[in-house]
Chains A and B, each alone.
Chain A
């Protein structure tokens, strides 16, 4: 059995329903759960932690059924938003608080001194939480949880109140610590960059339902619904109709799909019936700009000539809005823009490889 197995959890918390949540997590893996606010992310975590009892379903952790265990007996570390340090206690008192609460933590196999050293908080011990930076708070909160020697960690958007730069630093640090101690964790966030940076597995939650869960790359490349595709940041999603399907090797099909007047070729491992209405997803980084010379070489199906409507600079790349027989958003580095002479108002040629287009069937 997996290290953590959540099977068919249903829960009703005030007026909110968690519906049929199932997933599994191996030891040392990190699952990030991504969803808009109000999707039930925190409630799912708090149900796993034991603050709410599921109305049906089971939770197994390390071969033990913990579905009905009280919070303090689950051996699960929980990191809340802003880290929820006890403001009236010093860092040292915070870190040793589990020993104050329960004698059983006196004999954990992790020595408090060792944890303090590992997380570099020796010189913070006499300070109060209000005098700590975001990074220091995170390390103190981790240390405080590690004293209880938890079997796994739950993170409820601990960094959502911090600024982008600090968040990035803390994320790297956190990942480093979790991987070093090979800790299993579930990390909840509404930020897809955070979700894909931290997670080995990614789950998408909406309206109390886990819509898709799987390996990070699987979710990134093959979202199972328009909602997931949109939420993980795929810029180009449009309806199309399948017009032909041809087997080109033992496990690959060449599929042609039509959106308005544009016909695109797609390579897929799955067969699909002709005339089916589907959605096509193209990541903006998969739209390739071609030099003028290459334009003449018109052997590819997926070659499009589009007008550049606008170019917008973001932090380190440019967003290019293309329009014509189809509207697309592409991204590109400044160098490419200069080299390929991409200018607003000009017609440019782009190519989309058949492997990079993903079909959403429903």
Chain B
């Protein structure tokens, strides 16, 4: 027994210990502000905030718009990610750069750029206006803003999923009589599904958090981050933090729920 302790000490991994110290700083940096805000907040103020219709409306609007955004991102992002994972074409790196561009563009800049296209005089905004759809100050505008900033998460995650599918499995299906689309729907899509789901969760989470692009396109109706910003401007830290805690609780619980669902899928296959 004594020998075992000794040998453990000799092989002690100083590198990992020091790395853990650095890691703790990062983890603490993420958790501390959130926990501090959570525990400093009197519960009755949070409950009061939960009873304010404009706060709850803004949270529901955020959830609704993010959910729709995630679905649209999955529908339009999945084909592109399959193309990127499975085919070689000229200027592929350019397409990859375009996909990741929203990560580099400041979100307020993205919002203004989107107005040029989706605004009342923009090429798309002008057409949709004829069908009564406006992107200025509506949920459509919120969705457009969310979609722009969160699409890279969807495409990159789904692409990783398709790349993780052994191409020989797809080829085997072809030799067994499957057409290209059968290979996609029967083999590639189910096998990459966990990654697509995790892309949807990331898109959803990123969309709820979006502020910059959304506030330019639609100050009203107010999403939760916009509402919290407004409360902060008008009522200060005290007013806004109750709503902030409420939003945090709602988003974290939906995030945990989604994570659970995706992990559930993983353990089954």
Contacts and interface: CB of A to CB of B under 8 A. Distances in A.
A101 B185 CA distance: 11
Interface in B169-202: 169, 171-179, 182, 186-187, 190-191
A189 interface: no
Contacts of A49: 175
B172 A72 contact: no
Interface string B87-127: 01000000000000000000000000000000000000000
A250 interface: no
A74 B174 CA distance: 10
Given A86-B187, A88-B191, A88-B269, A101 B169 contact: no
Contacts of A124: none
Contacts of B179: 72, 101
Given A84-B166, A87-B191, A76 B178 contact: no
A51 B171 contact: yes
Contacts of B9: none
A329 to B, nearest CB: 38
B192 to A, nearest CB: 11
Contacts of A71: 174-175
A77 interface: yes
Contacts of A72: 174-179
Interface in A189-205: none
B177 A102 contact: yes
A81 B169 CA distance: 10
Contacts, number: 67
B77 to A, nearest CB: 22
Interface in A78-112: 78, 80-82, 84-88, 97-98, 100-102, 104-105
A148 interface: yes
Contacts of A88: 190-191, 269
B172 A78 contact: yes
Contacts of A78: 171-172, 175
A97 B173 contact: yes
B48 interface: no
B2 interface: no
A84 B169 contact: yes
Q: On chain A, which size bracket covers the interface?
A: 20 to 34
A5 interface: no
A80 B166 CA distance: 11
A78 B156 CA distance: 32
Contacts of A85: 169, 172
Contacts of A74: 175
A77 B191 contact: no
B168 A81 contact: yes
A156 B166 CA distance: 15
A45 B112 CA distance: 54
A133 B177 CA distance: 26
A249 B173 CA distance: 59
A307 interface: no
Contacts of B176: 72, 97-98, 101, 144-145, 147-148
Interface in B211-269: 269
A98 B177 contact: yes
A102 B177 CA distance: 6
Nearest to B191: A88
B177 to A, nearest CB: 4
Contact of B169 (A46, A86, A100, A105): A86
B177 A148 contact: yes
B177 A80 contact: no
A86 B269 contact: no
B191 A80 contact: no
Contacts of A84: 166, 168-169, 171-172
Nearest to B268: A88
A159 B190 CA distance: 27
A86 B173 CA distance: 8
B171 A101 contact: no
Contacts of A86: 169, 172-173, 187
Contacts of A97: 173, 176, 178, 186
B195 to A, nearest CB: 14
A181 B186 CA distance: 30
6 contacts: A72-B174, A86-B187, A97-B173, A101-B178, A101-B179, A101-B182
Given A84-B168, A101-B173, A105-B177, 20 more contacts: A51-B174, A71-B174, A74-B175, A78-B171, A78-B175, A80-B168, A80-B171, A81-B168, A82-B166, A82-B168, A85-B169, A86-B173, A87-B269, A97-B176, A101-B176, A101-B182, A101-B186, A102-B177, A102-B178, A145-B175
